[in-house]
Amino acid sequence: MGLAGKPLVVLAYHGLVLDTRSVLDDFCFVTPRKIDADLSFAVKSGWRLIGLREGLAALENGSLRSASVAVTFDDGFSSVVDLAGNILRKHLCPATIFIPSAHIRTGEKLWFTRVISALKRTSLSEFIFLGRTFELNDFGARCQASRRIQNLLRCLHPQAISGLVNRLEAVLKTGNHASCDEFRLMSEEECQSALLSDDFDFGGHSSTHAIHTQLDRQQLLHEISDSLSFSDNFAKSGVRLYAYPNGRKEDFSSRCEKILAGQSVYGALTTVAGWNFSLKNRYALRRFCIGPETDMKEILSPWRWQTARLFQ
């Protein structure tokens, strides 16, 4: 297994919107202008833009001769194809989309987007949920309420999350409105269409976006295998890639890695921040989650590069 002399930095975006206020300034949504600026900065700073599969293969065989950046998008929001395609073509930068198979099949919104949507649409100025009082008297209060509720629910079992989001929508008197364009996921037809372009490739991102450490072994096996078999329909090659839902250190384990290895997965990506210099730990590859205020200058700084190499 080769040790490349240059780093591969992987960026993790999620959805795109024209105005982040439309999604209560949620971290998972950025504007097209933000992505364009990020990629422009990387190129001007001497970084090469590269496809994820190509970059990982170069890391493995030691042929990555330039500091490189790969772009990924988690969750399969339709806005990625609608709003990012032209930007990726402008920069000659292919991207990998990691899709949650069950949600793509059904079109069901991801739970955290339902939280945002309910808080955005409710006419209430205050409410009680999970024994806590939340004020909604201005835009900032709604943004704060969204962050607090997402943090409360994020690490619960998927069944518990679903029931609590249903309860939240009932408390806020909004219902589950699936028509919010910002949160619409790609259809299978849109995935197939995107595959025909040179802009996008696909990988697995679980079946229902369940946090893996909250599942028993049989549930985990289903989440991973269903996602991979589905994403195989849209991948450009037989090389399987995977991204853990949420992706923090506490969200995956060695049990996940064993299942991924058994499913012939080439590499799995986390959201643990850092640069990649090899595939020594191919099932815990590092990525930077990019939000509206993320500073690319800090992520790509030579100081970070020099520091990171000390620990490889």
CATH at residue 246: 3.20.20.370
Residue 7's closest CA among 233, 250, 308, 264?
Answer: 308
Residue 5 has pLDDT above 90, yes or no: no
Q: How far apart are CA 176 and CA 123, in angstroms?
A: 15
| HSE-up of residue 163 (Cα within 13 Å, Cβ side) | 6
Q: Are residues 84 and 200 in the same domain?
A: yes
- Give residue-wise pLDDT tens across range 102-136: 999 999 999 999 999 999 999 999 999 999 999 99
Is 179 inside any structural domain? no
Is 101 inside any structural domain? yes
Band (309; pLDDT cuts 50, 70, 90): low
Range of the domain at 266: 3-106+188-309
- Give residue-wise pLDDT tens across range 140-157: 999 999 999 999 999 888
The tally of domains found in the chain comes to 2
**What are the C-alpha distances in Å from 274 to residues 59, 265, 285, 289, 312?**
15, 21, 9, 10, 11
Q: Are residues 101 and 121 in the same domain?
A: no
- Give residue-wise pLDDT tens across range 10-66: 999 999 999 999 999 999 999 999 999 999 999 999 999 999 999 999 999 999 989
Phi, psi torsion values for 225, nearest 5 degrees: -70, -40
Q: Are residues 224 and 78 in the same domain?
A: yes
Q: How far apart are CA 35 and CA 294, in angstroms?
A: 11
Give the residue with greater pLDDT, 117 vs 3: 117
Tokens of 292: 């509206």
Q: Are residues 206 and 283 in the same domain?
A: yes
Percent of the chain with pLDDT over 90: 87
Q: Are residues 157 and 16 in the same domain?
A: no
Residue 1 has pLDDT above 50, yes or no: no
Q: Are residues 211 and 293 in the same domain?
A: yes
Task: Tell me the mean pLDDT in the region 293-298.
Answer: 95
Is 146 inside any structural domain? yes
Helix (H) or strand (E) holding 289: strand 288-289
- Give residue-wise pLDDT tens across range 226-249: 999 999 999 888 889 999 999 999
